[in-house]
Amino acid sequence: MAKVQDILVFFQTAPALDVRPSAWARYEASKGSEVGDLVEEGQPPYRNAMAAMRDGWQVIQMSEFKQRTEAEGYELGAFPYQTVLSRFSEMQPE
């Protein structure tokens, strides 16, 4: 069977690879051509990007570290840091 690319995105509160993700998204092409309903998961698939890397995922993008002063405080909006991981998996029959 053909191998296809799966993508895993971790949204984090810091740019380090050992930070627990606050949110995540999976794009698993290996599971078929149709996008199924989003499934809410209580726990991330890995405790951090380092654990995913030890399971064969490759980092294809990391966020840069943003310098902040104490006066800037917290930001509202989307998580400022993302780690995008990729791996090739066997296509599963539909």
Residue-number span of the structural domain to which 55 is assigned: 3-90
The residue-averaged pLDDT of 44-60 equals: 96
> What value does the mean pLDDT of the chain take?
84
Number of domains in the chain: 1
Question: What is the four-CA torsion angle of 13, 49, 65, 72, rounded to 10 degrees?
Answer: 0
pTM recorded for the entire structure: 0.79
CB 61 within 8 A of CB 84: yes
* Interval 55-92: pLDDT, tens: 999 999 887 766 666 665 666 666 778 999 999 999 88
**What is the model's pLDDT at position 84?**
95
